[in-house]
Amino acid sequence: MKLLISALPGNEALAEGLARHLDAGIALLETRSFPDGELYIRHLREIDGQELAIVCTLDRPNEKLIGAYLAAASARELGARRIGLIAPYLSYMRQDKRFNPGEAISSRHVASLLSSAFDWLVTVDPHLHRYKDLQEIYTMPTQAAHAASLLSKWIKENVSQPVIIGPDSESQQWVSAVAAACGAPYTVMEKTRRGDRDVEVIFRDLNSIAGRTPVLVDDIISTGRTMAQAARALKRHGLPATICLAIHGVFAGDAYELLAAEGATVVTCNTVQHPSNRIDLTDRIAQAVIAARAEAESAAR
């Protein structure tokens, strides 16, 4: 059956790219906000009996989660046979533990909300820290596309003599894979986070990077504090201007300006639309969609 793809606002370019890669049709959605901020959603194409994929990246997620939920729930009511969510950036994954008594482990609750509305999920490099796998919290088939080899390709084509640097121990998983694929050395800094915007990053391993171009690699740039502090520390050690390479450029508040003020070149993937997008993951996401649909099909048998 031919797949139909719908885009929530801001996801149209990716939806069209995916439709080309997957030979899928586009099912237009009409969306608007009522004066009081409530969302209006209308499927403009007949979707009864069809398989639908809804593209909605989940940066600035609260309104988008409701939009994705309403689009899926109404598609189900209108007879869609199977409904997938393509969320290249999957938010709420960092709240994976009750750090203080009474806190919500939001990653679990968002996972159960989305699993109740969709039949499969495709994302890109989800932030897996305390969870080994998305299946620990999602009850529908999930597929994660990986950006590491394309980050490496970009580095190989654009940076001479790179050293790949992770700003914290969590980044080691991406940094080691990216470094291996581009044949560059890597090292990891030490990060202490005291608050949302209060981060300290220390560097102890200067010998490994002498004479090389520093490329900081992380999964997410949110407030930009991690990357900015890391770039500042490298500058203090006399290194040339840093390249900040991230999979998901969320850029909360003044994050982008902060990095520019450190003289950093910022490069991101197109999981969240931003002028720093240089690495196109459409093909990777399309491959993950094929795998997720197949998994959902066999689970339904």
Residue numbers at the binding site for ligand R5P (CB under 6 A): 94, 167-168, 170-171, 199, 218-226
Q: Identify the active-site residue in 64, 132, 153, 191.
A: 191
Long-range pairs of 275-282 with CB within 8 A, sequence gap ≥ 24: 276/249, 277/249, 278/154, 279/147, 279/150, 279/151, 279/154, 280/17, 280/150, 281/88, 281/124, 281/145, 281/147, 281/150, 282/14, 282/17, 282/18, 282/21
Q: Is 81 or 94 the residue whose CB approaches ligand R5P more closely?
A: 94
Q: Is 218 or 262 the residue whose CB approaches ligand R5P more closely?
A: 218
Quote the tokens at residue 215: 């490329």
Q: Is 63 or 200 the residue whose CB approaches ligand R5P more closely?
A: 200
From the CB of 293, what's the least distance to ligand R5P, in Å?
29
From the CB of 190, what's the least distance to ligand R5P, in Å?
13
The answer to whether 97 is a known catalytic residue is no
Task: Please state, in angstroms and rounded to a whole number, the distance separating the CA atoms of residues 295 and 297.
Answer: 5
Q: Is 38 or 198 the residue whose CB approaches ligand R5P more closely?
A: 198
Q: Which residue has the tokens 């490329």?
A: 215
Q: Is 70 or 252 the residue whose CB approaches ligand R5P more closely?
A: 252
From the CB of 115, what's the least distance to ligand R5P, in Å?
23
From the CB of 227, what's the least distance to ligand R5P, in Å?
6
Q: How many helices (H) and strands (E) does the chain have?
A: 8, 16
Q: Is 223 or 270 the residue whose CB approaches ligand R5P more closely?
A: 223
From the CB of 202, what's the least distance to ligand R5P, in Å?
15
User: Integer distance in angstroms from the first to the last C-alpha of the chain?
Assistant: 16
**CA-based nearest residue to 89, from 226, 248, 273:** 248
From the CB of 162, what's the least distance to ligand R5P, in Å?
20
The residues carrying an active-site annotation are 191
